[in-house]
Structure 1
Amino acid sequence: MPDPQTLLAFAAIALGMVLTPGPNMVYLVSRSLCQGRKAGLISLGGVALGFVVYMLCAAFGITALVLAVPYAYDAIRIAGALYLLWLAWQAVRPGGRSPFQVRDLPKDGARKLFLMGFLTNLLNPKIAVMYLSLLPQFIDPAAGSVLGQALVLGATQTLISVLVNALIAISAGSIALFLTRRPSVAAVQRWMMGTVLAGLAVRMATEARR
């Protein structure tokens, strides 16, 4: 079981990443605005299943990696830091697309909505890199079962992502209207998120290997 400080730090990164616009958020928002909240939440069910698949694959893979090549931490740590910097740039770069700019989507049945949410998440490189590059940074072999720590951290990320995306899907219409009327608020949010992600990247890059 990760210690509370480690779990809190990982939760902060997971929250920062889910609030950074990506394929999952764009799809869920567009689906909610085009077909209603229920369609958005059904799609989110598929996204959640994608998180579980990634979590299990990464947990067992990371366990094998840590036990076989402990010094691989350094390479993964740097990769994770670079990825966070890339996300920070995506948050603040000029001309970035807002996830609340709606894409026209056809009305689909529940089964297809669930499947599309699942595939959208599986094909999302942000999630793949997060599990493979960031998750190992918060696992300490001296703290007990590596597999257990990976599962706890993965479950934490999944819970945070599902809760935040559910709130966004339910409130998509209100949020879109609010940001349209107050573009300066959206700009401040983007810069705050970019700053936080950049700070986490610097911390990760300069942190000593455990």
Structure 2
Amino acid sequence: MDQLSSYLPGILLAYSAFLLGIISPGPNILAVMGTSLSAGRKEGIALATGVAVGSLTWATLTVLGLSAVLATYASALTAIKIAGGFYLLWLAYKSFKAARADSVIAADEPQGERISRSGYILRGYLIQMTNPKAALSWIAIVALGMQQGAPLWVGAVIIAGTFVLSLLIHVTYAILFSSPAAIRTYAKARRTIQMALGCFFAFAGAKLIFSRT
């Protein structure tokens, strides 16, 4: 129980960073929106499932990779946290910049012939796995939750929790954004959401950079 209470704040912070990160539309969210609008709700849910499995893959690779590095080079955690912290600060800057922009959400389904639902799952997986920013994002998220000498179960909890969150959030997007009215509603709240994201990423980035453990 003492172990759980020791690592729980970091785990919850990692969950929060991941959850807020997927609120802001990126390639995966826009693909889910566009697919639900143009191909249908079930197809959007299939794509969302593929994205969630991609998140699971990235989380597993990152946790195992960081665990292997830390087992050999304990001091590497400091460098990883600093790198992750600066990445989160960059995300904060991007969020504040997006809040000031006049652009609106554009949700477009990837072009091509209509495909099967299993094809949409694969497409969602590939969208997530080929995102060039995914590795840096996951390093920052995992670094928030893993302290020096953290047991492997902490990484497992982060992996399981982020997968559940990814599946729930992306499927929710697929269901909600199967109607154009939902996107218009989201667009109205865009500035507030981006400002809130910027504040959180700035806080989490500073916490990583100045953390001693």
- Compared CA separation, residues 198 and 140, structure 1 to 2 (3 A): closer
TM-score of the superposed pair, with normalisation by structure 2: 0.85
Report % sequence identity. Answer: 23
Q: Deviations over 1:17-48 (max 9, x none)?
A: 11122111111111111111111110112112
Question: In structure 1, what is the Cα distance between the partners aligned to 2:103 and 2:173?
Answer: 17
TM-score of the superposed pair, with normalisation by structure 1: 0.86
Deviation of residue 111 (structure 1)?
2.4
Asked whether the 8 Å contact 1:90–1:96 carries over to 2, the reply is no
Deviation of residue 191 (structure 1)?
1.1
Alignment counterpart, residue 45 of structure 1, candidates 44, 49, 60:
49
How many residue pairs were aligned?
A: 203
Instruction: Provide the alpha-carbon RMSD of the alignment.
Output: 2.1
- 1:10-159 to 2 correspondences below 5 Å: 10-93=14-97, 94-95=100-101, 98=104, 100-104=105-109, 105-106=111-112, 107-143=114-150, 145=151, 147-159=152-164
- Compared CA separation, residues 80 and 187, structure 1 to 2 (3 A): same
SS of the residue corresponding to residue 133 of structure 2 reads helix
Structure 1: unaligned runs, 5 residues or longer: none
Question: In structure 2, what is the Cα distance between the partners aligned to 1:10 and 1:56?
Answer: 14
Question: In structure 2, what is the Cα distance between the partners aligned to 1:13 and 1:132?
Answer: 11
Structure 2: unaligned runs, 5 residues or longer: none
SS of the residue corresponding to residue 78 of structure 2 reads helix
